[in-house]
Amino acid sequence: MKNRLFRRFILLFAAAVLFLPLSGLAAQTQLQAKNVIILIGDGMGPSQFGAAWIYSNRVLKKDLRMSELMNKGRTSYLVNDTADSIVTESAAAAGQIATGQRMTARALSMAADGKTPVKTIMEMVKEKKLATGLVTTSGITDATPAAFAAHVAHRSDEESVADQELKFGVDVLMGGRKQFFLPENAGGKRKDGRNLLEEAQKAGYTVAGTAEELKAAPAGKILGLFNMGNMSYEIDRAATAEPSLAEMTGKALKILFKSKSGFFVMIEGGRIDHAAHRNDAPATIRDTLAFDEAVGVAMDFVKKNPATLLIVTADHETAGMSLIGHSKESKEYVGMDLKAIEKAKVSFELMAGMWGKKPTPEKIKEIVKQSMDIDLTDDEARTVADDTIKKLDPYNYNYDYLHSLGFVLRPYLRVGWGSQTHTASPLFLFGSGPGSQKIHGLMHNTEIFTVMKAALRLK
């Protein structure tokens, strides 16, 4: 009897030993991602996220897709200091995400000597024959997308970035700043006289310039450039022929999905940052919501394609956005005036264009009334026209009049701004899918590279 039990035990033990490596292998296979989608909200700190969350739930009566991802997937706090600064800009931040190494300001995926390129995750996946994509509402030659496919000593060398992105052969390129693809005689900024749109077409790219053209574009390589400068803010987009970030994301995934060996794509909400630099709360919130819609498109794709690591994060916080409490009428905490945010019709950037170079207090009052339905007092309008806050805070680089405008609008919108520049605020990082198990606790943005690399089993 004892003997039989012992034999049974031995058999069970042998089976367990036999199956151990198998189950280990199964777990590994499960961890391997075929595709990686990383979405970066440029300038999307906790308050930008929080403002969009409040607006979405209370005005639009729906939760953010980002909340869903946070709840279903993994979440961590994220810090982002660089080799040479506590506060980063987008080039160093994106470079750190793309290469896993600490970067210096303004350089794009270059070692500290400014000369030695550091290999990016996109270069690694390209060697493995994965398809690649870069999508943004800012310029496609701007720092965040550029850091994945280009190496330049200074991010302002956007002519070289455009050239490098096409030489790299990035399958999907969508965004703004067409000017860096066109020679000066064709309205562009290229000093070398080259027309990269024509060159791209010859190299097999479909070139699209509007939302309609994007929709109609066939499968295959695509270069979608929808504005000579940055694409429009979401708040201004209805008056243009530009696609939304969600539409670009949908098209990008439809094209990249065709790749049998998988794909890597970086999708950026590039103008959250620009709106925040201008202390423009309504535009910041709308662009964060547009980014959230793109996250939703990616999440729907992942449901059907579970071998996809999905990562959502930010590169840095912009302008010290704060959701303050008090209104003009009450000493009680009330928080953001959602109606006032909802009523805003155009971005501060367009408003500044409308009031021109040296606006009078009357002109400022008129533009604010017509664009936001807010009646500034004479004193408030004068504070903006005198640009008082800029005088008090000259080291905080400044879009003329807009930091002062953001300041006088505080009791109307109940949104405050610490600066017009980036801050070192910690950020969120969340993700789902194979390899996302490593997202937890407090992480540094260089570790995002490690998570993506491990998920794709890159050496």
Minimum Å gap between C-beta 284 and Zn ion is 12
Stretch that binds Zn ion, among 6-14, 158-166, 265-273, 427-435 (CB under 5 A): 265-273
Question: Which residue, 294, 295, 312, is CA-closest to 97?
Answer: 312
Q: Which is nearer to Zn ion, 155 or 178 (CB)?
A: 155
Q: Which is nearer to Zn ion, 53 or 399 (CB)?
A: 399
List, in sequence order, every residue forming a beta bridge with 323; answer none if it has no partner. 415
Q: How many CB atoms lie within 10 A of CB 232?
A: 21
Q: How far is CA 18 from CA 21, 23, 47, 81, 199, in A?
A: 7, 9, 52, 47, 58
Stretch that binds Zn ion, among 96-104, 234-242, 266-274, 352-360 (CB under 5 A): 266-274
Query: Are the C-beta atoms of 131 and 173 separated by less than 8 Å?
Result: no
Largest Cα span, the chain: 102
175 to 204, contacts with Zn ion by CB under 5 A? none
List, in sequence order, every residue forming a beta bridge with 233; answer none if it has no partner. none
At 406 the three-state DSSP class reads: helix
436 catalytic residue (yes or no): no
Distance CA 391, CA 387 (A): 7
199 to 218, contacts with Zn ion by CB under 5 A? none
Instruction: Decide: is 380 part of the binding site for Zn ion (CB under 5 A).
Output: no
Q: Which is nearer to Zn ion, 273 or 287 (CB)?
A: 273
DSSP 241: S
Q: Which is nearer to Zn ion, 34 or 277 (CB)?
A: 277
Distance CA 51, CA 276 (A): 12
Q: How many CB atoms lie within 10 A of CB 292?
A: 28
Of 159, 236, 242, 273, the one binding Zn ion (CB under 5 A) is 273
Q: How many CB atoms lie within 10 A of CB 77?
A: 13
Closest chain position to Zn ion (CB): 273
Q: Which is nearer to Zn ion, 327 or 419 (CB)?
A: 419
Minimum Å gap between C-beta 271 and Zn ion is 10
Beta-carbon contacts of 275 under 8 Å, excluding residues fewer than 6 positions away, are 43, 233, 283, 284, 286, 287, 347, 348
Minimum Å gap between C-beta 301 and Zn ion is 28
Distance CA 147, CA 138 (A): 14
Minimum Å gap between C-beta 141 and Zn ion is 15
Stretch that binds Zn ion, among 9-17, 268-276, 320-328, 342-350 (CB under 5 A): 268-276
Q: Which is nearer to Zn ion, 94 or 170 (CB)?
A: 94
End-to-end CA distance of the chain: give it in Å, rounded: 53
Query: Are the C-beta atoms of 118 and 109 separated by less than 8 Å?
Result: yes
Minimum Å gap between C-beta 336 and Zn ion is 22
Stretch that binds Zn ion, among 234-242, 273-281, 327-335, 430-438 (CB under 5 A): 273-281
Write the binding mask 219 to 258 for Zn ion: x where contact by CB under 5 A, - elsewhere: ----------------------------------------
Minimum Å gap between C-beta 42 and Zn ion is 7
Stretch that binds Zn ion, among 14-22, 46-54, 95-103, 270-278 (CB under 5 A): 270-278
Distance CA 206, CA 193 (A): 21
Minimum Å gap between C-beta 316 and Zn ion is 7
Q: How many CB atoms lie within 10 A of CB 75?
A: 18
Q: Which is nearer to Zn ion, 123 or 273 (CB)?
A: 273
Q: Which is nearer to Zn ion, 268 or 273 (CB)?
A: 273
Q: Within 344-416, where are the H helices?
A: 348-355, 361-372, 378-385, 388-392, 402-408, 410-413
Minimum Å gap between C-beta 229 and Zn ion is 15
Q: How many residues bind Zn ion (CB under 5 A)?
A: 1
Stretch that binds Zn ion, among 117-125, 195-203, 251-259, 272-280 (CB under 5 A): 272-280
Distance CA 413, CA 323 (A): 9
Active-site residue (options: 56, 90, 160, 432): 90
Amino acid at 154: H
By the 10 Å C-beta count (0-12 exposed, 13-18 middle, 19+ buried), 151 is classed as buried
> Residues interacting with Zn ion, by CB under 5 A?
273
Q: Which residues are catalytic?
A: 90
